[in-house]
Structure 1
Amino acid sequence: MESSATDSDAPDLVCQLDNVQGMVDALTAVRWKRNQDAVIEISEHGIVVIVEEMSCLQAKVYLQSELFIRYEYGEQGRPRFGVSLGLFVDCLNTFSVPGHSSTIEIRYPGPDMQLLLKSVDSLDAGIYAEIRTRIPDTISWDYNFEPAGSTPLTFTTSALKEAIDDLDWPGSSIQITVQPDPPSVTFRGDGHGDLQIDFVYYSNADLLIAFHCDRQVSYRYKYKFLRATTSNIPGSVIRDNRGSKLTIGRGGLLKVQHLVSVARTSTSHQQIDSAGHQNPSRIAYIEFFVKPEEDEDTADD
């Protein structure tokens, strides 16, 4: 095929999504402060939104290409650009109508390297937005997450959020201990007071859904970073109650994963199989990574 000026001006990405609210919910979950920047990476596999703070806390939202009703990627490599996360979420909210699954089109880049959004499901009126992008100031820190001690734990999302919220008042770092006998996970904070929350697997099976641990591990984390992993989970995600997975990796790196539905409301029943599980292609994955505090009492890995 002969190249042309039109081909060279073609955007790297053109995609359409039929559930704006699902994308808003996913991005809101990683918006833990008002003025927050994000790095967006795009590829043939989908879109990844990365947010981090002080090289101690990182969150990633994975929007796989299968989530979109149209996904056309025409660039080599993985273009990266920075945006204001708050501005991005606020713009998306203007396209979201309660009780209606709006469809939007996202293009990048525009003539001046903007991120372009427009509504495509109405013949009578349209909404159009341009978001200024910038070159990221830093490169996101590279984590090498390797499970250690086999500690994948699955909580109901509401139980995990309530436990972390309750740990606020001691005013210090939080120690998380996972042990195989008895199979349990303990959250402990001390500071202005002492507070300990225990989840014993056999006693709390309705809250601690899945448990696997072959040896005890224990690490401490700053409360403000731990709280960010659940503080802005939208109520719709908690009501879906898909479960949130907590895993402690090698060196104490903590991973917390949430799942957010982006299925179109009016057709969501078509995405659910006979066992009641939604098609994984209609799920956005959110992962938080929290580095542990340096602590002499920390268990050796």
Structure 2
Amino acid sequence: MSSSATAMAEEAPDLVCQIEHVQGLVDALSAVRWKRHQDAVVELSEHGIVLIVQESGCLQAKVYLKRELFVRFDYNAQGRPRFGVSLGLFVDCLNAFSVPGQSSMIQIQYPGPDMQVLLKKVDTPDVSIYAEIRTRIPDTMPWDFNFEPAGTNPLTFTVKSAVLKEAIEDLEWPGSSIQIILQPVPPSVTLKGEGHGDLQIDLMYYANTDLLVAFQCDHRVSFKYKYKFLRATTTNIPSSVIKENRGSKLSIGRGGLLKVQHLVSIVKHSASHTYVDSAGYQQPGRIAYIEFFVKPDEVEDATND
């Protein structure tokens, strides 16, 4: 390779990728935007892009964008570059490229000449539309919550996303906590809020299989979580998730750490974009994986051991 070719290779950006259906990407990132001013850490790798937001040492959310979501994914970096960015600014810029009811393809490049994220619309050859987003060195590194099962068998349940969102909204007591109780007999999930009174929502597994679609628990557990953190896990669930009648999976790990998982379609079904999972089930689109981790506020009793 000539010296000029070597120099060009060395100057190649860490990442150049292209993605269709910008609105799906906006939906996925908006799902972890629980307040107006929010910083995010973006991590790049040969496997895709991970965006991480966190607050108060008690709440963290991750959006996983696997490389299969992109129609182009040229990764040239060594290691896993990280940079900080304003989540609100990033979402607003992406939203500017989205046209309701139409497919839009954009190119994302990092870094630009001044370490920016560069966005460019690439499916309109007669019009040039681009944006530059300033990045910064992250103030803190994302925490590693190291989610571990609470015992030999997992403690987990899957509930329709719309039901979960509505239940948490109904349990609102400002400044309070929400108690989550799982018990094997009868197999059920209880969500309980306390304020000027008590409000309790019971989801019985066998009686509500259209709402509580999966359940796994071999001993009773009970943990409390700050309402504002629990609400953040559902407050911006995309309307597409509700329309597709998707389910959200909740798992309780060692120490009461709560993991909430959502799936958001990025690319709608087409002949050229078909996603098939490990079980052979053909999804209606390619999926972004969203995970929230919430630390417990208070342990109720020794049954959690």
1:15–1:158 distance in 2 versus 1, CA, 3 Å? same
> What is the Cα deviation at residue 269 of structure 1?
8.9
Amino acid across the alignment from 1:271: T
The offset of 1:127, in angstroms, is 1.4
Aligned to 1:91: 93
Match of 1:271 among 271, 274, 297: 274
Q: Distance in 2 between matches of 1:164 and 1:73?
A: 40
Counterpart of 1:80 in structure 2 is 82
Number of aligned pairs? 298
Matches within 5 A, 1:1-301: 1-2=1-2, 4-149=6-151, 150-169=154-173, 171-264=175-268, 267=270, 271=274, 277-278=282-283, 282-295=286-299, 297=301, 299-301=303-305
Report the TM-score, using the length of structure 2 for normalisation.
Answer: 0.93
Note the alpha carbon deviations across 1:56-81, whole angstroms, 9 max, x for none: 00000000001000001111111000
- Bigger proportion of residues as strand: 2
What is the distance in 2 between the residues matched to 1:270 and 1:84?
A: 30
Q: What's the TM-score, normalizing by structure 1?
A: 0.94
Deviation of the 1:170 alpha carbon? 6.8
Between the two proteins, what is the percent identity of the paired residues? 69
CA contact (8 A) 1:114 1:133 kept: yes
Aligned 8 A contact 2:34 2:235 in 1: yes
Q: Distance in 2 between matches of 1:268 and 1:157?
A: 28
RMSD: 1.8
Q: 1:298 to 1:123 in 2, by over 3 A?
A: farther
Q: CA deviation digits over 1:153-178, x for unaligned, max 9?
A: 11111011111111104751011010
CA distance in 1, matches of 2:282, 2:186: 31
Give the whole-Å Cα distance in 2 for the aligned partners of 1:120 and 1:264: 19
**C-alpha distance in 2, partners of 1:32/1:249?**
23
Is the Cα contact below 8 Å between 1:18 and 1:264 reproduced in 2? no
Distance 2:255 2:262 in 1: 22
- Which amino acid is 1:284 matched to? A
- Does the CA contact (< 8 Å) of 1:170 and 1:195 recur in 2? no
Once the two structures are superposed, residues 113-155 of structure 1 have per-residue CA deviations (whole angstroms, 9 ceiling, x without a partner) of 0000000001221210000000000011111111225222111
How far does residue 14 in structure 1 lie from its aligned partner after superposition?
Answer: 0.5
* Structure 1 unmatched runs, 5+: none
Task: Tell which deviates more after alignment, 16-25 or 287-296.
Answer: 287-296
Is the Cα contact below 8 Å between 2:174 and 2:227 reproduced in 1? no
Inter-CA distance 2–22: structure 2 relative to 1 (3 Å threshold): same
1:32-84 deviation line (CA, Å, top 9, x unaligned):
00000000000000000000001100000000001000001111111000000
CA 296–196 in structure 1, closer or farther in 2 if over 3 Å, else same = closer
